[in-house]
Amino acid sequence: MTQSADERVGTLIAGWSFPEGEGHFTLDTATGRLDKVQFALLNGRFQAPQNPVWRKGITNSALLFDGYSTYLRRPAAEVLMPSAGLTITAWVAPRTYEYGAEGRLAAIANQHNREKAEGYLLGVTRHGEWSLQLGLGGEWTEIWSREQVLPLNRWSHVCATYDQAASLLKLYLNGTEVASRQLEQSAGITSCGEDLVIGRNNHGVVLAESFIMNHFDGLMDEIMIYDRALSADEVRRAVQSALAPHEGVIPVPDPKELKYPRELWKDDRHRPQFHLTPPGHWMNEPHGPIYFNGRYHLFYQYNLNGPFWHYIHWGHWVSEDLVHWRDLPPALSPEPRIDPDGVWSGSATYDENGIPVLFFTAGNNERSPNQSVGLARSTYPQDGDLDLVRWNKLDHPVVVQERGIGLFGEFRDPFVWKDGSRWVMLVGSGVEGLGGTALVYVSADLTEWEYKGPLFVSDYIKYPHLGVAWELPVLLPLRREGENTGKHIFLICPWGTGIKPDVTYWLGTFDPVNLRFTPDHEEPRLIDVGDVHFTGPSGMVDPATGRTILFTIAQGERTPEIDYDCGWSHTGGIPVSLSLRQDDRLGVEPIQEMEKLRDRLLLELHDVKLDEINRHLQDIQGDMVEIEIVFRDGTAEHIDRYGVSLRRSPEGEEETVVYYDRHQQKLWVDRSKSTLDNRERPTGIQGGSLHLNQEPLRLHIFVDRSLIEAYVSGLKSLTTRTYPSRTDACGIRLYSDGNPHIETIKIWSMQPAFSD
């Protein structure tokens, strides 16, 4: 009788080859049972249920683990616990590395309790180091491969063995032994009553109540667990057999195979479609805009591991017109030399040859302070990389905060520009006892920087909402009708206890000799009055048009539990054109290129009363629309309030109302009926001052599912979020305490900004 391959190598405890290629169940070849693949979008909370993502594997297909919600679980009572020996093999292709909170591994396979020294765990941690860990004789025992790491975006065959008889642990990478540990005494694997889990650490660190960290992120195929140690020859033959269809060479996955498709969220009723968004998961502020060879590049704070704030990379988009965007691979990822704890915000500029250079905040918790300024150069001169996908970091910071300079420990978000033959850098910080500031540095070569003092210091006693330190300092020139004015706008985000993290600004004069900013007004101002949604400023002077353009994040304001279920969090705002008006006030307008995303004109009326327009609006539905409304001044008719109800259900059970109060001279959003789902956070009435000075009220509104942006008379914006529970909450209705004349109303449906 001929033995099967499994019988020759010992009992197969569990094994998954993922041959299905679709659905949310997969066959365990050891037991013949079907195991459910856990995946957040299977719940179908905000769209029809979505299956986990399957890709091409080493043999047939492979499962793409999303880094936070994809895993398999087998109850402990239904699993044989190995004792005298163990082998775990798998083909893995990490999409990104996981942070490794509390020193715990992102598990490939595990049934363990580290604190009780029970069971076994095979997994990977930051920078690709990987390990087998076991409970042996009451001790927690580990073997590591620290030099032969698992590369990102590449298939690797990992094999970990323990042989009690030989008291020996071994690790193999692609069939070759890379680590061995001889124990002093023999011990069996201590039994563990935990469940067997594939892809998630069964004792992962809990973050924000809803997220389990220490989760594998990437492709897996052919996961096999045996109750004895395979020999080196058996491991080598297993790898050769798997590679036989590939002519003995490990195949390289297509980059698209490791990308989470944004189409997973195209039907999510709350996820914006024509705004800036990552492919999925978490984003913070967009930053580092730069124009190079006819393309706009914009980066953003990005956590690939899930829809939560944690291990930050630099995401990357590219566009030829600022409104149609393509996703590119992350431009910068944490590296052990300079930024092992995250690559935080920064900016982009050009070197002496006009080649893009990135400046970033390097996070390293082993340093004090744990924030410094790093530099990365584009490889374009060597490889002609027009998409600017590849960057080389210096292996050391270019600026490190010294004691006595700024508020020690608060030192981040470099904003750099070229000024003649030198470069100027602002770094967000504070001044002890005085308040926030931006520290100024200059350089002649981008690598050696000299401190020049604070740019401008706020009065913390008078304006405590500005905080004790500032983040994301941005200094940009302002034009009036295309002509230079000599004026600048200085923007910051406050940091500290009790602050409001809105984008705050001053208009004033920048002295390039003394490197100081003198504001024209003492009291700080807001661009947006929508209450902490419009944050995270970055900006640029567009070389193609000369415009000053501002980029921001549109905060999502949802709970971690909801973020888990929907799989994404936060959005970028529409790029905003800033200028100096004839009355010396700041001009705020969405960039004109947004017109390119218009789909169909749904309604156009001129010189009509509000009630007549509302009759027409009964037939207009849409959750992705652009609206332009010009109200005739209502003074003669004694009308004080007028605006528009958005994301409205047919009878108004759910609606979000944006309106102007002429008497109070304030712009408001009323979200008291935005949603019937009491688990959502957005509620109440928010707003702020808007002095029209006899100008007509012009509303330019963009509704993109949950995101509403209203630009008002070129003076202010109001950014807000709304998450209706009803799928029919897509109506529009004008709102007023009278029946005013409307000069013009136009409504367009909108097209997505990204194509997958």
Residue range 675-706, pLDDT digits in tens: 999 999 988 999 999 999 888 999 999 999 99
Amino acid 528 reads D
In angstroms, what CA-CA distances link 411 with 289, 302, 424, 506? 21, 20, 16, 21
Q: Under DSSP, is residue 258 helix (H, G, I), strand (E, B) or coil?
A: helix
Tell me: do 552 and 480 sit in the same domain: yes
Tell me: do 178 and 90 sit in the same domain: yes
| Cα 631 from Cα 682, distance rounded (Å) | 28
| Cα 526 from Cα 534, distance rounded (Å) | 10
**Neighbour-count burial for 555-580, b at 16+ CB within 10 Å, e otherwise:** bbbbebebbbbbbbbbbbbbbbbbbb
**Cα angle for residues 573, 575, 581 (degrees, 5° grid):** 120
Tell me: do 581 and 626 sit in the same domain: no
In a domain, 739, yes or no: yes
DSSP 328-392: EEEEE---TTT-TT-EEEEEEEE-TTS-EEEEEEEE-TTSSSSEEEEEEEESHHHH--TT---EE
Specify the CATH number for the domain of residue 601.
Answer: 2.60.120.560
Lay out the sheet containing 449-457: strands in order across. 412-419, 422-431, 435-443, 449-457
DSSP code, position 215: B
Tell me: do 570 and 424 sit in the same domain: yes
pTM of the model: 0.96
Tell me: do 548 and 476 sit in the same domain: yes
Tell me: do 582 and 602 sit in the same domain: no
pLDDT one-digit tens code per residue, 183-201: 999 999 999 999 999 999 9
pLDDT one-digit tens code per residue, 305-352: 999 999 999 999 999 999 999 999 999 999 999 999 999 999 999 999
Domain termination site, one of 240, 256, 272: 256
In a domain, 59, yes or no: no
| Cα 543 from Cα 509, distance rounded (Å) | 22
In 104-243 the beta strands, taken as DSSP E runs, fall at 106-113, 118-124, 130-136, 139-145, 156-163, 168-173, 176-182, 196-198, 206-207, 211-212, 217-226
Specify the CATH number for the domain of residue 184.
Answer: 2.60.120.200
Structure tokens given for 185 = 């005494």
How large a percentage of the chain has pLDDT more than 70?
Answer: 98
pLDDT band at 5, cuts 50/70/90? very low
DSSP code, position 242: H
Structure tokens given for 2 = 């001929």
Amino acid 30 reads A
- Specify the pLDDT at position 632: 85
Tell me: do 558 and 643 sit in the same domain: no
Average pLDDT over residues 423-437: 95
Phi-psi region of 421 (alpha: psi -120 to 50; beta: other; left: phi over 0): alpha
| Cα 297 from Cα 288, distance rounded (Å) | 8
Tell me: do 370 and 466 sit in the same domain: yes
- For the chain, how long is the longest CA-to-CA vector? 101
User: Mean pLDDT across the chain, nearest whole number?
Assistant: 95
Domain termination site, one of 570, 590, 610: 590
In a domain, 488, yes or no: yes
| Cα 335 from Cα 338, distance rounded (Å) | 6
- Specify the pLDDT at position 523: 95
State the residue range of the domain holding 226.
Answer: 5-13+72-256
Return phi, psi of residue 593, to 5°.
-60, -15
Specify the CATH number for the domain of residue 578.
Answer: 2.115.10.20
Structure tokens given for 541 = 């002077």
Tell me: do 442 and 576 sit in the same domain: yes
pLDDT one-digit tens code per residue, 450-467: 999 999 998 889 999 999
pLDDT one-digit tens code per residue, 630-648: 998 755 567 899 999 999 9
In a domain, 421, yes or no: yes
Can you tell me which residue has the tokens 């490939």?
108
In a domain, 359, yes or no: yes
Q: How many CB atoms lie within 10 A of CB 600?
A: 10
Can you tell me which residue has the tokens 């023999």?
186
Residue (of 137, 139, 194, 134) closest to 162 by Cα position? 134
Structure tokens given for 599 = 């789909």
pLDDT band at 10, cuts 50/70/90? low
Average pLDDT over residues 214-233: 98
Structure tokens given for 496 = 């500290």
Tell me: do 117 and 160 sit in the same domain: yes
* In the predicted structure, residue 409 carries a pLDDT above the cut 80: yes
pLDDT band at 4, cuts 50/70/90? very low
In a domain, 457, yes or no: yes
- Specify the pLDDT at position 226: 97
In a domain, 755, yes or no: no
The terminus-to-terminus CA distance of the chain in angstroms comes to 53
In a domain, 98, yes or no: yes
Contacts of 612 (CB under 8 A, 6+ apart): 605
How large a percentage of the chain has pLDDT more than 90?
Answer: 94
Amino acid 370 reads N
Give the residue ranges of DSSP H helices in 526-605.
Answer: 560-566
Return the minimum-mean-pLDDT range out of 151-165, 269-283, 491-505.
Answer: 491-505
pLDDT one-digit tens code per residue, 95-105: 999 999 999 99
* In the predicted structure, residue 9 carries a pLDDT above the cut 50: no
Q: How many residues are recorded in the chain?
A: 756
Contacts of 207 (CB under 8 A, 6+ apart): 101, 213, 308, 310, 560
Return phi, psi of residue 562, to 5°.
-70, -40
* In the predicted structure, residue 656 carries a pLDDT above the cut 60: yes
Phi-psi region of 730 (alpha: psi -120 to 50; beta: other; left: phi over 0): alpha
Tell me: do 245 and 351 sit in the same domain: no
Average pLDDT over residues 745-754: 98
Q: How many domains does the chain have?
A: 3
- Specify the pLDDT at position 433: 87
Domain termination site, one of 206, 236, 256: 256
pLDDT one-digit tens code per residue, 128-161: 999 999 999 999 999 999 999 999 999 999 999 9
Tell me: do 668 and 537 sit in the same domain: no
